[in-house]
Structure 1
Amino acid sequence: MGIFSTFLLFIIGLIMIVKGGDWFVDAVIWFADKTGISYGIIGATIVSVATTLPELFVSTLSSKEGLTDMAVGNSLGSYICNIAFIVGICALIKPIHIKDNLFGIKGSMMFGYLGIFYYFASDGVISHLEGKILVALLLLFIFINVFELKKGNGKSKNTSREFPNKKDLIQNGIKFAVGTALIIISAHLLVDTGVEIANFLRIPKQVVSLTLLAIGTSLPELVTALSSTIKGKQNISVGNIVGANIFNMTLVMGASALVSDNGLIISQQTLALDIPMATIVALVFILIGTSTEKIGRLTGILLLALYGGYMTILF
């Protein structure tokens, strides 16, 4: 495939993922309004699962083929990108007001799982047993969301009392399914063409996994967050970022370790640079979000500056 065709497919992928994200968020907002489940819980569960599928697919496939450095780089790079780049951009567009009562707990869980991953990775490998533990940790996050919903904290004030008619149900069901499919398919199209572009430009594989691959598989989170911000449903984007990062550290990393014959091999760069950067941006996001209950434009600029500095070091 020529470089012109590759760039053309890359642009097509961008168009597909923008439209898919728009339909997906529309359907999620409708579902939240009809069921009374808060936007935060919807974002942390249903949206997070859907938008993390590209990371899960790419990382497990890479790990199974013996490219464990790409599997780790993709997942950890997405963790950093989700906070520093995506939250940063959304905060610049419109300050993010955090209305989730359990944001502090969920944010601490997101940070804690990163710490557990670092502890497991400190000896240079994530074993099969440690991979199983990481996957099992996801159950605690699911329990927190179920508990929040049962206690009534997850109820939305925007609930429509009218029973949805069949036409609306079918229409939004189609939007959700087609939107999800477009996000996932276009994300893979963007990753594949992006890697080809990177190879053409002779960018190192490790840098590709932490940058182009991570950004490519984080595009669903980016599009969902931007669409949610523009539509004024920012708790969907906050819940999605926290949930997606928890999924990255548990399900994605755990499954990648399990499908690899020798577990996940961790590089020195991961321990010395990537995890510390993830720690810094996570702390900024959690501490400011918890203390002020919002992520303002100045925080957005700080996060983007940190991401820019990280990209500069990598290249």
Structure 2
Amino acid sequence: MPAPIHPETAVLDLIRRVWEQGHERVDRTGVGTRALFGAMLRFDLSDGTVPLMTTKRVFWKSAVKELIWFLNGETSIRPLVEQGVHIWTDWPLDRYRRETGEAIDRDAFEARILGDPAFAARWGDLGPVYGKQWRRWQGPDGREHDQIRALVEGLKTNPASRRHIFTGWNVAELAEMALPPCHMTYQYFVEPGADGGGRLSSILYQRSCDLGLGFPFNIFEAALLQRMLAQQCGLEAGELVWMGADVHLYLNHAHLVETLLERAPRPLPRLDLRPAADIFSYRLEDVSITGYDPHPHVAAPVAV
């Protein structure tokens, strides 16, 4: 019997295909990409493993903090910077430089974000990005809708529903966002169990995917969120299906691509999750990753 194919092999195959066959285009950032349209990957979460890439080290604790930031409905970089997470700083920093003409570096900008609440309110807010839409989607009547709370309630009370969906793509507020949602729409499916339990599977539709830098965070966070939801609803984790629309690699990431494709995947780590009072109460210390032995990190620039 042939050995099972490592789940990360499909990711590397997609990276190779995009790099070798992708259409070269000048993108919004001016850096340029190679891109293909339409891809699908599947990950089985039922054995307790998590799709945390092993061909380069992923700073998974930063990813956990980002997901919790989303779930808290945050839109300011200040709570992330307070925890040493810099992944959202480049966008407000770029805006500050453009609008003021001040050639400030990231460290100095973040120091002002931390030290001056008024400065943080003016320059550290990202607009109505993910957290706002997930937790406080504003309807035409002014009422706010908590999509995550409604999702949990729906999974518990009506598991067979085909409406277990939340999205960040609020057309009315896209222009106000520092970055419109890339990991855009999530849908969940409950497979009933013989003993009254069940398995929770999900689909993540991603309109735009930076395979080199964004995808490793996106897929890990989607798996972690799925595990959180399953735990809160008394379900087991099933399959995570990822659907990418514009799937791309930046032209200045050649060294990253070449390095990844030279490396062999290692065993995926295990994710253990300590129970929390509700979906909004998880903290970093509730998330345990064991058996993670990745290849070294590969640095690459972020295109803003």
Normalising TM by the smaller chain, what interval? 0.3 to 0.5
TM-score normalised per structure 1: 0.31
Q: Could you say which structure has the larger radius of gyration?
A: 2
Highest relative contact order (Cα 8 Å, sep 6+), 1 or 2? 1
TM-score normalised per structure 2: 0.32
Give the structure with the higher percent helix: 1
